[in-house]
Structure 1
Amino acid sequence: MRIYLVGGAVRDRILSIKGKDRDYCVEGATPEDLLRLGYRQVGHDFPVFIHPKTGEEYALCRTERKSGHGYNGFVCDFSPDISITEDLKRRDLTINAIAEDEHGNLVDPLNGAQDIANRILRHAGPAFSEDPLRVLRLARFYARFFRMGFRVAPETEKLCTEMAASGELEALTPERIWLETEKALSTDNPEQYFIFLEKTGALKCVMPDIAALHGIPEPPDFHPEGTVFDHTMLTLREISRITRNPVTRFAMLTHDFGKLETPPESLPRHEKHTEKGAPRIRAMAAALKIPSLYRDFAVKISENHSYTRLNSKDPAILDRVFFKMGGYKKPENIFILAECLTADFRGRDKKTPEHFTQSYNLVYLFNQARKITPAPVIQDGFQGAEIQTELSRRRQKVIAAAQEWLKRFWKEQGISEELF
């Protein structure tokens, strides 16, 4: 029995990345051999075992044979005569098809170490096309390693395009699509996940509403980048520079879904698009079984991401935004909204001012409004529904005063509070 460190742990060590998990592959053993050593079995179709002391995963060397449609249609063979080389050759990418023995020697039948050095993401072999999930995994690795200069090999991109055109990706379950997407949202460049999927035609198979954004034009005077998809990707890039929170990033991915509802005769203008996106977001969340935490916050951002002329907006509108965002109970929601407004403003293919004043304005106006609490209103004798009405009236009065202060402040700084 021979044990090898495999996959991501070896890849990340070569890249000098601190990895989280260490997975092992066992050559020349049977399930009974590992059970006798005290390992706990957690897989059945292709046995995976948990080490009795370290809790790390050990899998038997195996090969796979396509037997049906989709990513579940495989028959696995994990007999003890299967070599580590055979196991590595059935993996997805060459950079993940490297093993290391107990002496630190590499087993690298597909030259994955060279592809790492050359920053190339290349499919391991013809079997890649048998598993549609690998297209999404490749896109996720691309997003993760984009900042390190990795690119997808042309022949691998061509293969992904062919797989998307074949209809094979339609066999993917919502759970698997969302799992890969959620992981991608936590990478340094999540926008590259969607850009790659759109480029290969895979995006319309798994997330058609996001793909549809590519065909919708934006006003060229404000969005010279071209389409709503282009703007969304730039916005996703910008929010990812501000926060690593995947919930916030997902909200920016869907923030302009309302533009999908713009009548063709109105294009490229998108009137009142913030009022139209929620049904689309909820439909996508239902289709992909996206957690309610993501869905509900995305709806909030979609409905409240307007930042034009905040210092001149009706205070009642701003009070309603603060309320709908849940800010009076969770102030952090307003601070996150300010982050999203900044990303939305900077997510354009044009030079923008170094300082985005509207995010500061929003937080300042909110901080003044939240000083007005229910207790004094109740002490003044208001009851029932009157409490909320009076609370809103007082908050609007404070917001109006804060708006006037901001106008004077920015004028003194020589900065116009009007963005357009």
Structure 2
Amino acid sequence: MKETNSDPHLAGLNVYRVGGAVRDELLGWPVYDNDWVVVGATPDAMRRRGFKPVGRDFPVFLHPETAEEYALARTERKSGHGYGGFEVHASPDVSLEEDLLRRDLTINAIAQSTEGELTDPFNGQGDIERRVLRHISASFSEDPLRVLRTARFLARYASLGFSIAPETLTLMRQVSHSGELEHLAAERVWVETEKALGEPSPEVYFTTLERCDALNVWWPELAGEALVKGLAAMAKVPDSDMFPLAHWRHAQLVSPLSAEQRDALSERLKLPNAVAQLARHTALTYSLINHSLTNHSLSNQALPSDALEGSSVLRWLERLDGWRKPEQVEGQLALVKVLAPEQVGPLENAWQAAREVSPQALIAEGYQGAALGEALRERRGQAVEAALT
């Protein structure tokens, strides 16, 4: 259908809104971004209209004013392993229905013309009404990333009553057993996982991956009881915006793991330094307040009043690099409010007392060099002990 609005950049083009924006509007879910497909156009025609090409692997253009993405209709053919193992064919001959056929799920394969008319060749609207995530064709299994994406969509929409069609779950399991998941780039796996960790039901992402045997491929450390404990911990995150919610949830998820397991997982997923560091710091906090990550990850029992030792608290503050990065201590104090609220007061007092120890005052006393560092640590330790008692 021809574009009829007054935008001169789009005049005469066959333009359709597609994908998530159409799906979420039908669901009554917030729509933040629009994606568009253009049928019957060429890259040269788009450039002449002022569109900026940004697609590396296929023709995608940014609108010169809105910066929204406009992709030329295309088809794909499997030619290698992993997410990027496809040959793309984009030409004016590719129809809207052919472009929709290459997509993953029926609910993501609905197009809307600029006049509001829907094109729904795979009955995505019916699956929205039935609350079902269903693959479009057997080509679903050609892209292993779709296993993670489907699990992520379920994490988003589980509260609306969605489930995965049994035949789709079977395909997801086949992909897991095929070895294709191993060819995904670690960065792509983390991108999907980080998004899932920000969804309303992040635990569903991991339980779904476990159901289709995908969890062992990238998260073997979370198999079995570790996942049960991790998901229970993940349900309790601090009320703190010092770090993104998804990163807090990840830190809690891996809190039952040993240091070696966390490091192995971080290395395998090539986690950003900030994400891996928050997980390490969270583990330090568990260790401080209970002396055992594994035993305390699900405990709600109050700690005895003498559970905190001055030397342990000082070491905790040092390993959090609190003197240079106080926000890291503040973030962990927010976590303590969740894990052991009765210990927040003593820890806050100890933290403030340690911060009040002045290096300048020690310098004025004549300390310098290594002796200054030793005296500073000793005075901080004394301040922490006094605050705790």
TM-score computed with the length of structure 1 as normaliser? 0.79
Alignment of 1:289-368 (within 5 A): 289-306=270-287, 307-308=289-290, 309=303, 311-312=305-306, 313-341=308-336, 345=339, 356-368=341-353
Counterpart of 1:370 (choices 344, 352, 355) is 355
Q: Say if 2:231 is the partner of 1:238.
A: no
Counterpart of 1:49 (choices 61, 77, 85) is 61
Aligned with 2:36: secondary structure? strand
**Post-superposition shift, 1:44?**
4.9
Change (3 A) 1:153 1:363: farther
**Post-superposition shift, 1:242?**
6.1
Amino acid at match of 2:277: D
- Contact (CA 8 Å) 1:195, 1:233: kept in 2 or not? no
Counterpart of 2:90 (choices 78, 86, 106) is 78
Amino acid at match of 2:230: T
Q: Say if 2:16 is the partner of 1:4.
A: yes
Q: Say if 2:362 is the partner of 1:388.
A: no
**Partner Cα separation in structure 1 for residue 175 and residue 239 of structure 2:** 32
- Contact (CA 8 Å) 2:229, 2:256: kept in 1 or not? no
**Post-superposition shift, 1:10?**
1.2
Show the counterpart of 2:252. 252
**Partner Cα separation in structure 2 for residue 296 and residue 132 of structure 1:** 29
- Contact (CA 8 Å) 2:218, 2:268: kept in 1 or not? no
Change (3 A) 1:240 1:106: farther
**Post-superposition shift, 1:233?**
0.9
**Post-superposition shift, 1:50?**
1.6
Alignment of 1:17-166 (within 5 A): 17-166=29-178
Change (3 A) 1:311 1:382: farther
Alignment of 1:212-291 (within 5 A): 214=224, 227-239=225-237, 244-258=244-258, 277=259, 279-291=260-272
Change (3 A) 1:43 1:15: same
Counterpart of 2:200 (choices 157, 165, 188) is 188
Aligned with 1:139: secondary structure? helix
- Contact (CA 8 Å) 2:75, 2:99: kept in 1 or not? yes
- Contact (CA 8 Å) 1:310, 1:362: kept in 2 or not? no
Alignment of 1:161-172 (within 5 A): 161-172=173-184
**Partner Cα separation in structure 2 for residue 180 and residue 229 of structure 1:** 18
**Partner Cα separation in structure 1 for residue 112 and residue 355 of structure 2:** 58
**Post-superposition shift, 1:133?**
0.6
**Post-superposition shift, 1:310?**
7.1
Aligned with 1:194: secondary structure? helix
Change (3 A) 1:373 1:251: farther
- Contact (CA 8 Å) 1:310, 1:361: kept in 2 or not? no
Show the counterpart of 1:264. none
Aligned with 1:64: secondary structure? strand
Alignment of 1:196-207 (within 5 A): 196-207=208-219
Aligned with 1:238: secondary structure? coil
Aligned with 2:71: secondary structure? strand
Amino acid at match of 2:276: R
Instruction: Report how many residues are paired.
Output: 361
Show the counterpart of 2:294. none
Aligned with 2:236: secondary structure? helix
Cα RMSD for the two superposed structures:
2.3
Deviations 1:345-382 (A, max 9, x none): 4xxxxxxxxx8323444334323332323232222332
- Contact (CA 8 Å) 1:305, 1:340: kept in 2 or not? no
Q: Percent identity?
A: 42
Show the counterpart of 1:177. 189
Counterpart of 2:28 (choices 6, 16, 40) is 16
**Post-superposition shift, 1:59?**
0.8
- Contact (CA 8 Å) 1:311, 1:361: kept in 2 or not? no
- Contact (CA 8 Å) 2:42, 2:92: kept in 1 or not? yes
- Contact (CA 8 Å) 1:341, 1:359: kept in 2 or not? yes
Change (3 A) 1:185 1:94: same
Amino acid at match of 1:340: L
Q: Which blocks of at least 5 consecutive residues in structure 1 are unaligned?
A: 215-226, 259-276, 346-354, 405-420
Deviates more, 1:279-288 or 1:44-53: 279-288
Q: Which blocks of at least 5 consecutive residues in structure 2 are unaligned?
A: 1-12, 291-302
**Partner Cα separation in structure 2 for residue 375 and residue 95 of structure 1:** 64
**Post-superposition shift, 1:2?**
0.8
TM-score computed with the length of structure 2 as normaliser? 0.85
- Contact (CA 8 Å) 1:94, 1:122: kept in 2 or not? yes
Deviations 1:141-194 (A, max 9, x none): 222223333322222222211211222212212121122122222223322222
**Post-superposition shift, 1:202?**
0.4
Amino acid at match of 2:23: R
Amino acid at match of 1:336: G
- Contact (CA 8 Å) 1:334, 1:363: kept in 2 or not? no
Deviations 1:64-104 (A, max 9, x none): 22233322222222222322122112211122111110111
